[in-house]
Structure 1
Amino acid sequence: MKYPNIRAGTFLARPNRFVAQVEVEGNLQVCHVKNTGRCRELLVPGCRVYLVDSHNPVRKTRFDLVAVEKEGPAGPLLINMDSQAPNRVFGEWAAAGGLGFVPTLLRPEMTYGNSRIDYYWEFLNGGEKTFDSTRGFVEVKGVTLEEDRIARFPDAPTLRGVKHLEALVAARQAGYGAAVCFVVQMEGMRWMEPNDATHPAFGEALRRAARAGVEVIALECGVTPDTLRILRPIPVKL
């Protein structure tokens, strides 16, 4: 996916989870943050951020904040923090055969039980490589937390995430294919793992899901200020 009209700026403050104050070419701008998570390790005063200029005069906020440079021992790491981006790039990747087959049907936002799962797929031509079923569900999770080149999820407790995993287990037990896909919104990670220190219940639910036959996939992305694309799978350590 590609963002139009990218501008660089300097992050100053985040008065609430929806907006950030950013200096752009010497001017203070109030920007919409396209991620309502905490992101405390990312949005550090003085860091470099990247914004989409909407050129829309009727919007309350002219800019959307979509990426940030995180300083580290090896230099700055560019991280896409747009929470809507993982579903978009996963949909493109899956439709092009990333799951091992080109789906006959790929439908977003499907309900199973009392949970809404990000994607439902069908593949009716035989020969599927990833799943032993001709239909199934995939829940997509964006990952922006990095520590020592290890990607971790979540960055804050997520009861909703646990509920999604339980729905995938139920779907698997009912005969569907089921997977949770972690779209890692940065490059150069050694592996991805659950963040047990922040939310141990999610890590336990993820391991239960894997034992129940739910596929656990992590996909590393290539990130530039104005693009995000899936590059390759990376290992998952449970």
Structure 2
Amino acid sequence: MRFDKPLTPGRLIKRYKRFLADVLLDSGEVITAHVANSGSMMGLCEPGLRVWLSRSDDPKRKLAWSWELVETAEGALVGINTSHPNAIVADAIRAGHVPALAGYDSLRREVKYGRNSRIDILLEAADRAPCYVEVKNCTLARQAGLAEFPDAVTSRGAKHLQELSDMVAAGHRAVMAYLVQRNDCDRFEIAADIDPVYAASFAEATTAGVEVLVLRCALSLETVEISHLIPLA
């Protein structure tokens, strides 16, 4: 994924009400940006952190600015906008950069399935079972080099794991894809201490045959792209 226009730098003043952040731009202007992330963003919301924003020209938007990237105190670049991961993964699959998900004739997004849900990506081919791919954005790293998910309790995430398990039981293929939007992690694990229910659901899903892919990103101020797979810790 390439950002449409150059990002605007600034310093975080505060994040509040989950979806809002005040930022001091390098120009000296203080603006309020939309935060497209419902998680806790643990370790990424400290006042003074370097951030980068995109600006929309859509007059219908309530807030023109969106928070895209943050640089941690340790110097890692992190993508926090959860509206991007599905497109990033879909583009990588289409380009053949995810070998485990290659060989399908079609790719559709946001397809209805399960119990009143939508699957992020549905892969289909005439000669094989359909493949249901759920994508989760991962930004948490409490230990050097270790990415974790989730960063907050997510009953919705546990529901998605159960629905993927149901797809396997129905004879389909199901994949849980974690997109690590950080450039400083080489391992991944489930944060069981943050959400034990999700951790239990993850264990049940993998036992049922749900596959897991952890896709790490290469990030810059111009692009966010999948670089390689990283293993479960």
TM-score (norm 1): 0.90
**Would the aligned equivalents of 1:142 and 1:183 in 2 still touch at CA under 8 Å?**
yes
Q: Residue deviations 1:107-130, cap 9 Å, x none?
A: 111222203221111123x5xxxx
2 CA distance for matches of 1:163 and 1:134?
Answer: 22
For residues 208 and 44 of structure 1, the distance between their equivalents in structure 2, rounded to whole angstroms, comes to 35
Distance 1:44 1:78 in 2: 14
User: Equivalent residue of 2:40, what SS?
Assistant: coil
The alpha-carbon deviation at position 20 of structure 1 amounts to 0.8
Q: Which secondary structure does the structure 1 equivalent of 2:197 belong to?
A: helix
Amino acid at match of 1:26: G
Deviation (angstroms), 1:51: 0.4
State the alpha-carbon separation in 2 of the partners of residues 230 and 137 from structure 1.
19
Match of 2:139 among 144, 149, 163: 144
Alignment-mate amino acid for residue 139 of structure 1:
E
Measured in 1, the distance between the counterparts of 2:20 and 2:120 equals 26
1:60-75 equivalent positions in 2, closer than 5 A: 60-72=62-74
SS of aligned partner of 2:86: helix
How many angstroms does 1:211 deviate by? Answer: 1.1
Q: Is residue 101 from structure 1 mapped to residue 102 from structure 2 by the alignment?
A: yes
Return the letter of the residue paired with 1:136.
C
Structure 2 gaps of 5+ residues are none
SS at match of 1:68: strand
Residue 158 of structure 1: which of 154, 160, 176 is its match? 154
User: TM-score, normalising length from structure 2?
Assistant: 0.92
Unaligned runs of 5+ in 1: 127-132
Q: What CA deviation, in whole Å up to 9, does each residue of 1:69-120 have, x standing for no partner?
A: 1112xxx100000101111110011122323424211111122220322111
Aligned to 1:81: 80
Q: CA deviation at 1:54?
A: 2.0
Deviation at 1:56, TM superposition (A): 4.6
Residue deviations 1:47-75, cap 9 Å, x none? 00000122455643231111101112xxx
**Alignment-derived partner of residue 23 in structure 2:** 22
| Letter aligned with residue 109 of structure 1 | E
Q: 1:168 and 2:167 equivalent? A: no
Contact 1:51 1:67 in 2 (8 A): yes
Q: Is 2:218 aligned against 1:222?
A: yes
What is the identity, as a one-letter code, of the residue corresponding to 1:80? Answer: G
**In 2: Cα distance, 1:100 partner to 1:113 partner:** 21
Q: How does 1:110-149 map to 2 (within 5 A)?
A: 110-114=111-115, 115-124=117-126, 133-147=128-142, 148-149=144-145
Structure 1 vs Structure 2 CA RMSD = 1.5
Seq. identity, %: 33
SS in 1 for 2:104: coil
